[in-house]
Amino acid sequence: MERMVCSCTGSHQLLYRKNGTHYQVHCQYTGWARYHVSYTSSQKLIIMNIRKGHLRNYVLFSFLSMLAAVGSMGVIYMINQIINKYFTGTKVAASSYFIYFLGALVLFVVSRWLVSIAIIGFTQNLLIKTRMNVLEMVLRSPFQNVWKSKEKIFTALTRDTDIIVGASVTIVDILTNSAIALICFIYMGIIAWQLLLCMLVLLIVTLAIYFFYVGRARKLFIKAMTFQDTFIKYLNEILSGFKEITLEKQKGFDIADRHVKRSILSASALYRKAHVTFLNNRIIGIMSFYVFIGLLLLFLGNVFNIQDRVVVNFIFLILYVFGPIETLVLMIPSITQANASLKRINVIEAQMDVVDSDNAQGRPYPFFEELRLENICYQYRQEEEEGDRPFAIGPVGLSLSRGEVAFISGGNGSGKTTFLNILVGLFRADEGIVYVNGDRVEKDRWIDYQRLFAPVFNDYHLFDEFYGIPVVDVEKAQEYIRVFELERKVSVQKDKFSTVHLSAGQRKRLALIAAMLEKKPILVLDEFAADQDPPFKRKFYTEIIPYIRQEGFSMIAITHDDTYYAAADKLYKMDTGSLHTVIAGQEKPVYILS
């Protein structure tokens, strides 16, 4: 039996156990549910939605839809009865028909209105849950998987979830219209079963043609969506590089010409093709109905020897049932699109390699004594279109004890940042072993391992509030602000700095203060001092690093500042993917072959 957090709300615990080809999942709100082991979490979400309270909603929607269908059919039944009276020359009792007519109409309008109101609230809830589910999946995924699927994730969280939720809501329309069609067919069967049979044969043939083409349209939708990802990618490129583009507009127009226009045009051509396929199908459907009415008027009534009155009733019913059937058919594009979106989310999910949720609960290392990396090897994955052999690191090793400061130097492109990314666990090493406090770090403690580090990357992101810090030590924060000479610029408010609108060098100092406030044992810096002014750079190496050490932090820092190498306890040098220790000016490779 394992525990995980509910994928619906993320706020309560689920118990789950594997039983043969199925998982049994227990949610405190819904009781036990059963999933096939191969279900993706999106599918689980849908099943969970149906189970969790939403089953009640679906039953309510179906019930109201049935009432609407009965009301609607009541109106038609009344009209047919009146037609029959006219045919037989019987006097119509207007007052009694009027009451029944009004009753059926009220039933239809009220139940239809109620179901629509209920759906509006339901849709919004479903949208929130679907988005949160995808977001939660992203937050639990390894860095590299998310990084390479950024555009897809963006569209999954925006467009795909909208499409899926939109289509989920059509379930109610499907129910209502199917119910109307079914009741109508039963009524048709009662008055002329031979005509109903002929009509059903025609309907089945038409639907068979329809579904054959729907498969093609779905493929077109999927292809169009990939062009939309490209569109988002280059839109981001324009927005990220907008400073440069503002100075030289041609850059923006080049991106638009080379990539954006192409992806928009390709996506639009595919969407057009898919919608034309649906349109053609619709026309075939409409034609087959009219052909059937013609056949009925001219031949079928005589062939089956059916009274004129019944033929008129039947035609009236055909014209009536045509509306619900057409509505059902018109919903197929949105369901097809939703199916394509669901497939995309499932593919993203498969690529994400989501970390088990019970692992995300965390068993943090209670203390830090020593970190050791041995025989670490890593090679970038080769993209299909790239010809050169991808850059590789290793085998390399490194060790760091509590309170130690280690510098990594080396030329541009030698692999320092790549190694740092492996060290903090953003990149998974292909080979090698990591030890914390002498214990090998196994896969199930990877998240705990990553929590040992507080980084200031070269391309760091300064969050505008303190996240992931339950209680901020305001006094300490003010002290750090003084040490980093920012007291005239910044102060600490409850859960954020008073401002993050500072110069580049000042922002980086603030990023380091934020990292220190996380109270993680190891600070990781990538060329922190590169954009600091010379007096502060000197202060950083000669005063702040000893202060940081005194505060109990260990540090691994990439630096090119050879004047200050003496500030570190250990100096490593990276040289085209190999790491060397530098002791008294002597370099020695480190990979610790066991």
Contact residues for ligand ATP (CB under 6 A)?
Answer: 380, 390-391, 410, 412-418, 574
Nearest-approach distance from CB 141 to ligand ATP, in angstroms:
18
Token pair listed for 319: 């014209």
- Which CB atom, from 25 or from 558, has the smaller least distance to ligand ATP? 558
Grouping H, G, I as helix, E, B as strand and the rest as coil, residue 341 is: helix
Nearest-approach distance from CB 392 to ligand ATP, in angstroms:
9
- The string of DSSP letters for 8-35 reads TTSSSEEEEEEETTEEEEEETTTEEEEE
- Which CB atom, from 53 or from 390, has the smaller least distance to ligand ATP? 390
Token pair listed for 263: 């992806």
Residues 198, 291 contacting (CB under 8 angstroms) = no
- Which CB atom, from 53 or from 413, has the smaller least distance to ligand ATP? 413
- Which CB atom, from 43 or from 417, has the smaller least distance to ligand ATP? 417
Q: Is the dihedral of CA 499, 501, 503, 506 positive or negative?
A: positive
State how far the Cα of 68 lies from the Cα of 112, in Å rounded to an integer.
6
- Which CB atom, from 215 or from 411, has the smaller least distance to ligand ATP? 411
Nearest-approach distance from CB 534 to ligand ATP, in angstroms:
20
- Which CB atom, from 442 or from 459, has the smaller least distance to ligand ATP? 459
- Which CB atom, from 420 or from 436, has the smaller least distance to ligand ATP? 420
Nearest-approach distance from CB 528 to ligand ATP, in angstroms:
13
Q: Which residues on adjacent β-strands are paired with residue 379?
A: 392
Nearest-approach distance from CB 418 to ligand ATP, in angstroms:
3
Token pair listed for 241: 């590089």
State how far the Cα of 441 lies from the Cα of 427, in Å rounded to an integer.
15
Which residues have a Cβ under 8 Å from the Cβ of 438 and sit 6 or more positions away?
A: 369, 370
Nearest-approach distance from CB 409 to ligand ATP, in angstroms:
9
Greatest alpha-carbon pair distance for the chain in Å reads 117
List b or e across 438-466, with b for residues whose CB sees 16 or more CB atoms inside 10 angstroms: eeebeeebbbebebbbbbbbeebeeeeeb
Which residues have a Cβ under 8 Å from the Cβ of 186 and sit 6 or more positions away?
A: none
List b or e across 384-403, with b for residues whose CB sees 16 or more CB atoms inside 10 angstroms: eeeeeeeeebbbbbbbbebb
State how far the Cα of 228 lies from the Cα of 266, in Å rounded to an integer.
9
Nearest-approach distance from CB 457 to ligand ATP, in angstroms:
11
Nearest-approach distance from CB 373 to ligand ATP, in angstroms:
16
- CA nearest 524: which of 453, 425, 574? 453
Residues 559, 409 contacting (CB under 8 angstroms) = yes
- Which CB atom, from 133 or from 414, has the smaller least distance to ligand ATP? 414
Nearest-approach distance from CB 579 to ligand ATP, in angstroms:
11
Nearest-approach distance from CB 338 to ligand ATP, in angstroms:
34
